[in-house]
Structure 1
């Protein structure tokens, strides 16, 4: 990951910031020149190294933290949200977040993880839920620098800056309150984790899970596809020329993944955890048992999200007994 600020469009700079122990390695923050000020799309993780890298990158384009008037955050995950919350304490920048993130943020602030633990039980992963519960008893659960934003963005919203106008577009799926920001005049889409160039974002693992997260995600992809094609500015990975091309690839991926999930279930009655154990994961087709606990949780949650769409579409049936969901052809 090369540090610095890289101009990807006139007055728009991509700033990669480090992530700890994460296969993604970096999160892209985008700095938009807005007269004498800067508006940042996402902020990075509240880590000393990320803060130093951001300060150096801004200095390279003639600015400091005091130039940041506003953080427009795509979603509540810590690598997008928490550094902005930290910086506003000193420099007074405003932090904006989509209203759909409010339930998950309140759960974070109040240490409420029961919903996520219950989800794991429902998916047939009670063993992982119990390990999580025991770990939290030993180490406690801290909100990790989270605070409430200055502004909740409600629905599709036009955001007028000094030099350009952005549109915040709700795109639930990866999280319930995920937003993308469109700059129609410059043909730019600040996509957050909604559309990533080389990987598919995780679906279905939140503190407050939506009823049908994959259904929401597919609808959000189609919504973006209805808008004119724009240059893709993702939160992870390189900038790409066409949003539409990648949206079509993601829709096709999930169509194939739904078919694979149905085949993995076969004629059995099985839980999401059991079905996930029969499938390959990542581009290397890894087994579920080869993955660490966190990525196993993501995989099982995503399998559940696919199974629930298959039930909605009439391709499977589902039932819940003693809090555990089971699926059958």
Structure 2
């Protein structure tokens, strides 16, 4: 894998946010800051034939993020009012968050995959109170004590911003072309990180807008969700194999930095998950009858398990659950069939 976004990587190492960068004629990367360890989202700006701009992802819905996006567009000689369309790679708040403000300021259309559009509609259609109870019940169903589940899920007030998220005007299925004059962007459905995650393959230049499907440094979180797909890790690994064969000249991810070597990076990610599956299988054998909540504590994470709480702990437990489901589909672990699944290694044949 070859790094091409050197300024982005240098900013990451320096714990700063990179500057707006011209990637190619008519294409810029605008970093939109966000809280948490990822630090920023790469909003990609495309100049359209006949005038106007398009965005691939927008950034987190916060005033400082909005100011950064507006300043970035001004820095390349544009304005939010120039935006004609927004391609959303997936429904997570750091990618779709500012789409509503962009549409309000410009009248731009917003497009995403039907699966994420449905999930987003369901999420924004619930009251914050109902949404909170929904997640608490899901976490309890994975083995969490109710008090811990409520602490991690947060309060209805913290979820109120979800109702401001923009629902799409347009839907893009796998293989559809985005309506962006001067560009030939084909939607590539890559479920796993979310059910409707989309990448976009630019067929004239070979550029590959990867969203969170393929990142250069970390593995995207692959988790189970209430009402989500039954085996998201299986979906993700299959999606990795699909995009590995694409003739990508450069990968433009939603976080971190640009790079070349899509096939090599997808291979690294598949190998990472196979190692993770082996580690989890060993944990199940050492602790038979454990729930996903219990088993997450026996895995290797980037920091001590005692430091995990709130959303980080939810991501860890639901990712553990996704790996358990794939092990089960391979016949390597067996659940007890209870309301809260307790897992045991399958008998060796």
- TM superposition score normalised by structure 1: 0.92
Write the distance in 1 (CA, Å) between the matches of 2:43 and 2:76.
Answer: 14
Equivalent position of 2:315 in the other structure: 298
Contact 1:96 1:152 survives alignment (8 Å) = yes
* Deviation of the 1:10 alpha carbon: 2.8
Output one character per residue of 1:120-173: Cα deviation in whole Å (capped at 9) or x when no partner: 12211133323357x436767442521311112233312242112100111111
Write the distance in 1 (CA, Å) between the matches of 2:330 and 2:189.
Answer: 24
* Deviation of the 1:317 alpha carbon: 1.1
- Residue of structure 2 aligned with 1:74, choices 69, 73, 89: 89
- Residue of structure 1 aligned with 2:329, choices 304, 312, 316: 312
Unaligned runs of 5+ in 2: 1-15
* Deviation of the 1:57 alpha carbon: 1.4
How many residues align structurally?
Answer: 323
The change in CA–CA distance for 1:138 and 1:230 in structure 2 (over 3 A counts) is closer
- Highest RCO, 1 vs 2 (Cα 8 Å, sep ≥ 6): 2
Write the distance in 1 (CA, Å) between the matches of 2:167 and 2:274.
Answer: 37
Structure 1's consecutive aligned runs of 4 or more residues displaced over 6 angstroms after TM superposition are none
- Residue of structure 2 aligned with 1:197, choices 194, 199, 216: 216
Contact 1:269 1:326 survives alignment (8 Å) = yes
Write the distance in 2 (CA, Å) between the matches of 1:328 and 1:41.
Answer: 43
Contact 2:19 2:31 survives alignment (8 Å) = yes
Contact 2:89 2:95 survives alignment (8 Å) = yes
Output one character per residue of 1:80-103: Cα deviation in whole Å (capped at 9) or x when no partner: 112111121121011111111133
Write the distance in 2 (CA, Å) between the matches of 1:140 and 1:299.
Answer: 20
Equivalent position of 1:281 in the other structure: 301
Query: How large is the Cα RMSD of the aligned pairs?
Result: 1.9
Unaligned runs of 5+ in 1: none
Equivalent position of 1:120 in the other structure: 139
Write the distance in 2 (CA, Å) between the matches of 1:109 and 1:144.
Answer: 5
* Higher strand residue share: 1
1:260 aligns with 2:279: yes
